[in-house]
Chains A and B, each alone.
Chain A
Amino acid sequence: MKQMKLFLGPQHPGMHGNASVHLYVDGDIIKRSFLLPGMLHRGFEKGMERHSWVNNISLIPRVCVVEPDINEMAFAMGTEKLLGIVVPERAHWIRMIILELARLSIHLMAYGGLGGPTGNYTLMYHAHADRNSILDIFEQITGHRVYHQYIVTGGVRKDLPKGIEKDIHTFIDSLESRYEEYRDLGIENPSIVARIKDTIMLPESVVWELGVTGIGMRSAVGKPYDIRKVMPYARYDQVDFEVPTSDYSDARARIDCKLKEVIQSISIIRQCIEKMPLGPVRVPLGRGQSMRWTVPKGYVYSPVESSRGEFGYYMVSNGGTHPWRIGVRGASYPQGLLGIEKYMPGTRLDDAALWVDTMGVCSPEIDR
């Protein structure tokens, strides 16, 4: 049979972000496929070498567009490891609030993104409406809606504004009250269940072969392999939370885990606000001009748990004012490139956009 070549992207409403999936289809079945990344490449790793450690703080959030805070956290943790700084107690808790709010925001966006490939735009509108409230809270805390540059080496940039706890509580209460509604609109909706149940499987063997992490791995393996649990950073060891897992990884189980994580994040934020001590939020990094701030020699890999999996910065310093090399491990790198090449063939054309969406492929962190 003659195979027809189709492009899913870069300009395609089903594709989130600027990447292209090339599909060779025979009838409706995909026979061969691969991702064409690089449309978002802007030479980040080179750019970071050209900026000083301090200047990089403004550069790193731009690595991953949808979830900038994990970049800041990974970078801050890496430099703190190299410098041997102990971060003040309150800064840890503020960082956790920020990270979990960011996780809520990206999960809402990804869940609303489910509305695109399956066609339920009402879900998308509702999720984005709630996400916008998170952006408003971020704007109050940090002064920016998207790129916050708030988590910096040695703590956070400044203390939380007065009365923000009330806003956060209002928001998470309203989100929690509508949790069931979200489920009904999305993964309990019969017309969507027909699309996502028992398709787009991710078995355990594939997980270990590709190196998929995050929700994809947890929903296949059934064990709480979450960096927040197994190698806790900040103060994740002092809050109670569960890591939702499953051992049947179809698209629905993955989205289900995502929604359950929303509930866990809400609970983490509540505990953080409750347990947060008072005190300083940032240690000063030496005297003098920040451009002359140097970092001792060393190699460090600093991983954090992003919404899509293990996100890490590999940082090498030669003792100078500029990083010698910074490598970014994008969380969706394995499933985005090798996964699409190996495991998308065999699914149907209808499911291609859904595959990319539910596996959580995020092109900016693949291209960098």
Chain B
Amino acid sequence: MLVNILIGFGVAFFGFVLQTSVAGVNRKIVARLQKRYGPKWYQEFLDIFKLLSKRATSHGWIFDFGVIMALGGIIATAMFMPITNNIVAFAGYDNFFIFVYLLAVGMLGMAMSASGSGNPFASIGVMRALTTMLAYEVPFMIVVLTIIKLSDSSSLSLIGAFQQSAGNNWFLIALPLGGVVGLISLMGMLGKKPFETYIAPAEIASGPMVEYGGKQLGMLFIMHEITVFIEVSLFVHLFLGGAENIFIFLIKYFLVYTALNLISNVNGRFKIDQVVKFYYKWPLIMAVTQAIIAIYFGWVI
């Protein structure tokens, strides 16, 4: 059991290092898109450690406690994340629904903390974040339930292994409509443009993060990196057939994140009502169509 917990922390730490490096490399790639040279690839690490080295301002105990709760919740979520078929900290407990519920703990912690700061921009940002969550969860859930139905399992590593055993017939290809919905929902989860509405520096001054500085912001950054790791890994396991070994995982992870980042950087930002309308229109229709086609007609490529 203790070994499992240690492996779990190892996974969370691996996720943090991986995502922070990938994000740093991505900053360089995006800089090239914008005709710039870009920062060092380890700039994200410098930023985070710099924030941790600064003095912090507190706005009451809810503010501080919420940050710790968010970080703790996210680390706890990451501990369950399988990396390859074999590297799983708690084998048999890597159920999809565990991630859904545990992710909410982190999000709630952040929402609580941001509201505790008392800044109106933070409350608006939290409200927008929760609304966005409500918007992308519905189509995403429908597609994931279809996958669970098809693969007769809700364990991530088993879903991954199922796709590998089916001759690498990934669900991104097998369920093309669902794959697109998954990608769009992933963009919403990661807060990429055009669904970046709850950060929106030009409208609400970076939304929930408006009052954070110093150590709290550093912790939020760590939390953000691990959250991104969880969400992108979810996508890799659900739609891209998991990974037999760690290199395949790294390649898939990097490609998914970079592709989304590049799409994000040539787009503008929707308004919050446009985000909700968008998700409840095409992705929802596509998800439902996909579910009907796949489950009732059994048409899977």
Chain A contact residues, CB within 8 Å of chain B: 4-6, 12-14, 28, 116-122, 125-126, 129, 185, 189, 191-192, 194-195, 348-353
Contact = CB atoms under 8 A, between A and B. Distances in A.
A116 B202 contact: yes
B203 interface: yes
Contacts of A117: 202-203
Contact size range, B: 20 to 34
B202 A348 contact: no
Given A119-B269, A120-B266, A192-B268, 6 more contacts: A14-B201, A120-B193, A126-B35, A185-B266, A195-B270, A353-B203
B29 interface: no
A296 B194 CA distance: 60
Contact of B270 (A5, A28, A122, A194): A194
Contact of A194 (B265, B272, B274): B274
A119 B266 contact: no
B33 interface: yes
A121 B203 contact: no
B193 A125 contact: no
Contacts of B225: none
Contacts, number: 80
B36 interface: yes
B245 interface: no
Contact of B36 (A116, A125, A350): A125
B268 A120 contact: yes
B268 A125 contact: no
Given A122-B266, A195-B268, A129 B35 contact: yes
13 contacts: A6-B120, A13-B202, A14-B202, A28-B272, A117-B203, A120-B193, A125-B34, A191-B194, A191-B267, A191-B269, A192-B267, A194-B194, A194-B268
A189 B203 contact: no
Given A189-B266, A191-B267, A119 B202 contact: yes
A349 to B, nearest CB: 7
Binding site secondary structure of chain A: helix
Interface in B26-51: 33-36
Given A119-B202, A121-B34, A195 B121 contact: no
Given A119-B193, A126-B35, A191-B193, A350 B268 contact: no
Contacts of A13: 201-202, 205-206
Contact of B203 (A126, A194, A350): A350
Given A6-B121, A191-B194, A119 B205 contact: no
A352 to B, nearest CB: 7
Interface string B248-272: 0000000000000000011111111
A348 B124 CA distance: 13
B121 A122 contact: no
Given A119-B196, A120-B268, A352 B203 contact: yes
A194 B197 CA distance: 13
Contacts of B196: 119
B91 interface: no
Contacts of A351: 271
Contact of A349 (B34, B203, B268, B270): B203
A127 B270 CA distance: 22
Contacts of A353: 202-203
Contacts of B271: 194-195, 348, 350-351
Nearest to B269: A119
Given A122-B33, A122-B34, A349-B124, A189 B267 contact: yes
A125 B35 contact: yes
Nearest to B201: A13
A350 B205 CA distance: 11
A4 B33 CA distance: 40
A277 to B, nearest CB: 38
B265 A121 contact: yes
Nearest to B267: A191
Interface in B236-292: 265-272, 274
B184 interface: no
A352 B124 CA distance: 15
